[in-house]
Structure 1
């Protein structure tokens, strides 16, 4: 960045980097470690239209991939500035600094267009500054969940995410929805930089019996709910659904065409397909050998994947996936059925034998890579449908 450009940066540009670190999931329930978002940052949300229908047609992996495209595009746009982001299975939440707000609006228009052209999915997208959002009787507090150094996710409180999501989906404040709207004319057809976005790992199979995907929503102590669910899951449960036992790589990976379409950036799809296949074959060989090559240690990389997975919490909503025994899943269902009416909670649960993982890899040799997990067979989409019902 030139010195003249740096002189015009807002003092709030380093806001996310300066936040207290939340190193464990339980830290995300400590409201004293959240900070108000600066007025000149902007909040963006995306959401796939009829994700339930797409999942029913066997397109769950594509839904997850397209949901992560907004994160990848805006993260690459804002680099090297670190930004908060949150993955929701069929959508995403991202914040961008003031110097990138106008560019982010155009980039989201391109992501929306590419989702339709390359993946035949309709994506809703909206963006407003935090100052604008606060005029609609809500706030935005941000926490920085960083399970390993340099790999950060955003968690949010204050109601701002929920209010903006409702407006963008057309069931909230119509004026806010109008202000957040992104014109189709901003999509100039330029390809989005989705470098690093991939889904090269095989489907994660439960090592405990079932992958439990849960969404809990309500104005109550969600930390207590979370801790009780983990207690009921038992000592054998994997808090994260990714483990060294569940990580499997195959060649060619089932999602290689998603990556080829995402990365071609206007080039030949055939050429990019060949390139992705060559890269994934090389990666498969390196991982199978298990020996360090240059600065890349495949054994360390596998271990980091286990810890570098997302944790989804915003406003009065908590979402997570765990690997647990079937008996524990039944106990969790009974606990929520009994607790929810007393606490004013709504919840949705989905059980499956598998989970899916989408990856955003910046620099694997430098341990910079994050991973988004969704329960198999619908995961968050199915749990959300159950919650709404």
Structure 2
């Protein structure tokens, strides 16, 4: 294994999110790496049609497919609501291409959703005067998430949308391994007023120190919220039965099998979990209430993704202060931003095993928060 291959494993973990507003906490990817990007075509229209849970599930499928294709090896990734980004060393290029192609085929076959996917050389990103820098945020004892900076992921996505570096869908029947992809938790209603989705991107050429100050102001305001604005209660998200996402999960996990059989399996497993959480009973060493608490601890409600993304349980006063900071920074030409409000947040999960604490959980606004915020940042009415 080369030094390039070991790059991500050797990155130090950052335990305080407010340190990630600083560019010096990020390390450039090796020159021979690749970045993968994905995007759902017309995600805004799908969200407006009420398919926000489907959009989130398909967006997270890229990460699930890559986790399984890499046999659990650590790699940097980020969930974007209607897509995902990640990076891999050169020996995983073929695996990544295959996984992306299979997810694109699956999205079309299962849901009729067109998904763009691409794999871009880091060398190509830097040739365009962009960069991909990475940090690792230790969100809990069991999980850390990659944070991205440098503009390269956004550039790669724009290139993909322009038809460059595109990977065509795999052949019919070539499906990804989406073992562990689920959405069984109930929506998380706002406890303090509203669920505020925030998407901030720096304007090219703005001094990094100026952008850091903008991020610092927003992060500082969020820290003043109950639990820092975390949408999940301290005990973890709630459960109901049957889970609203049962059919979606069945589509993800059935492979070539019957959808009905896969759905019955989801319903049985979720009923057992629901019963254990309600009663507090422990089975075979599995503590469902502890598991629910760890789910909340592991969730990614705030992230750096060539900008700042947050899904906050926000009170009206703090929301007004955040909007004021964002509006002032945009007026000065420092940033672009979009926000969206909704009554609840939702969660999409990847759970390799319920017996370990390395399960990951992606939070978005319950009405398609990041997708709607992105549309508003681009000036589209929604």
Structure 1 length-normalised TM: 0.90
Q: Does 1:327 align with 2:311?
A: no
Q: 2:217 aligns with which of 201, 212, 228?
A: 228
* In structure 1, C-alpha distance between the alignment counterparts of 2:235 and 2:319, rounded to whole Å: 20
Aligned to 1:271: 261
* More helix by percentage: 1
Q: Does 1:49 align with 2:41?
A: yes
Aligned to 1:6: none
Asked whether the equivalents of residues 18 and 219 of structure 2 are also in contact (C-alpha less than 8 Å), the reply is no
Aligned to 2:176: 192
Q: 1:37 aligns with which of 29, 36, 39?
A: 29
SS at match of 1:254: coil
| 1:306-343 superposed Cα distances (whole Å, 9 cap, x missing partner) | 2212233133x211111111232123223322332125
Asked whether the equivalents of residues 168 and 181 of structure 1 are also in contact (C-alpha less than 8 Å), the reply is yes
* In structure 1, C-alpha distance between the alignment counterparts of 2:121 and 2:316, rounded to whole Å: 44
Cα–Cα, structure 1 residues 224 and 290, in superposed 2: closer, same or farther, change >3 Å? farther
Q: Does 1:287 align with 2:277?
A: yes
Structure 1 residue 127: Cα displacement: 0.3
Structure 1 residue 188: Cα displacement: 5.2
Q: 1:73 aligns with which of 58, 65, 72?
A: 65
Cα RMSD, aligned residues only: 1.9
Asked whether the equivalents of residues 205 and 246 of structure 1 are also in contact (C-alpha less than 8 Å), the reply is no
| 1:256-287 superposed Cα distances (whole Å, 9 cap, x missing partner) | 11111110111121211111111111111122
Asked whether the equivalents of residues 230 and 239 of structure 1 are also in contact (C-alpha less than 8 Å), the reply is no
Say which is worse superposed, 211-220 or 352-361, in terms of deviation.
211-220
Say which is worse superposed, 130-139 or 103-112, in terms of deviation.
130-139
Q: Which runs of no fewer than 5 residues in structure 2 stay unpaired?
A: none
Asked whether the equivalents of residues 273 and 288 of structure 2 are also in contact (C-alpha less than 8 Å), the reply is no
Q: Which runs of no fewer than 5 residues in structure 1 stay unpaired?
A: 1-8, 171-176
* In structure 2, C-alpha distance between the alignment counterparts of 1:381 and 1:15, rounded to whole Å: 31
Matches within 5 A, 1:72-91: 72-91=64-83
SS at match of 2:325: helix
* In structure 2, C-alpha distance between the alignment counterparts of 1:129 and 1:230, rounded to whole Å: 32
* In structure 1, C-alpha distance between the alignment counterparts of 2:217 and 2:48, rounded to whole Å: 32
Cα–Cα, structure 1 residues 379 and 209, in superposed 2: closer, same or farther, change >3 Å? same
Structure 1 residue 47: Cα displacement: 0.5
* In structure 1, C-alpha distance between the alignment counterparts of 2:212 and 2:43, rounded to whole Å: 29
Cα–Cα, structure 1 residues 313 and 320, in superposed 2: closer, same or farther, change >3 Å? same
Say which is worse superposed, 29-38 or 155-164, in terms of deviation.
29-38
Cα–Cα, structure 1 residues 346 and 133, in superposed 2: closer, same or farther, change >3 Å? closer
Aligned to 1:183: 168
Q: Does 1:216 align with 2:216?
A: no
Say which is worse superposed, 145-154 or 76-85, in terms of deviation.
145-154
Number of aligned residue pairs? 372
Cα–Cα, structure 1 residues 354 and 134, in superposed 2: closer, same or farther, change >3 Å? same
Q: Does 1:101 align with 2:85?
A: no
Cα–Cα, structure 1 residues 63 and 13, in superposed 2: closer, same or farther, change >3 Å? same
Cα–Cα, structure 1 residues 295 and 33, in superposed 2: closer, same or farther, change >3 Å? farther
Asked whether the equivalents of residues 204 and 246 of structure 1 are also in contact (C-alpha less than 8 Å), the reply is no
Aligned to 1:173: none
* In structure 2, C-alpha distance between the alignment counterparts of 1:139 and 1:235, rounded to whole Å: 33
Cα–Cα, structure 1 residues 209 and 113, in superposed 2: closer, same or farther, change >3 Å? same
Aligned to 1:313: 304
Q: 2:365 aligns with which of 355, 365, 375?
A: 375
Aligned to 1:347: 337
